[in-house]
Amino acid sequence: MVFGYRLGMPLARTVGVSGALPRRAFEMAGSAPGTVLVSSPTRPALPTALQAGDLVFFDASTTDGTQIDHTGIYLGSDSSGRARFISSRQTADGPTLGDVGGASVITGTGYWATAFRAVRRL
C-alpha cells in the first residue's frame, strides 16, 4: 500500500506487528497504527475532522455479514463538495479515482457512500 513505502510503515501478514499496517481491510480498521476517528456497524456521520490521507473503510460485500472488506484513501472534497477517495477495485482492474464500480464518494446515497463504515488516521 502507498503508506508502507512512503512512510516507512511495513505491511504485515498478521495483526500485532508493532508499527505495521495489517494486510486485510478489517484488520486495518481494527488494529492498524493510528487513531480511529469514527467506526460504526452502520453508516456513520462523516467526521468534520477528516483529512486527505485518512484511511476510509467499507462493508461493501453482502456475503460476509458486517465485516469491513474494502479500504480506500480519502482525498478531500471535489469541486462539487463531495468527499472523494481512491481505492483498488476489481471492476477497474486496479486503483481508481474514477467512478467505475460506483462513485468514489463517501457522501450521498451511492454504493460506496452507503457502504462507508469507519475512518482511521495513521
Surface-to-core class of residue 5, CB atoms within 10 Å of its CB (0-12 exposed, 13-18 middle, 19+ buried): exposed
Residue the block writes with cell 482492474: 93
pLDDT in tens, 14-61: 777 777 888 888 998 998 888 999 988 888 888 788 999 999 999 988
Alpha-carbon span 53 to 51, nearest angstrom: 6
> pTM value?
0.84
pLDDT in tens, 56-91: 999 988 787 789 999 999 999 989 999 999 888 666
CB 78 within 8 A of CB 33: no
Alpha-carbon span 76 to 112, nearest angstrom: 15
The domain limits of the chain are: 34-121
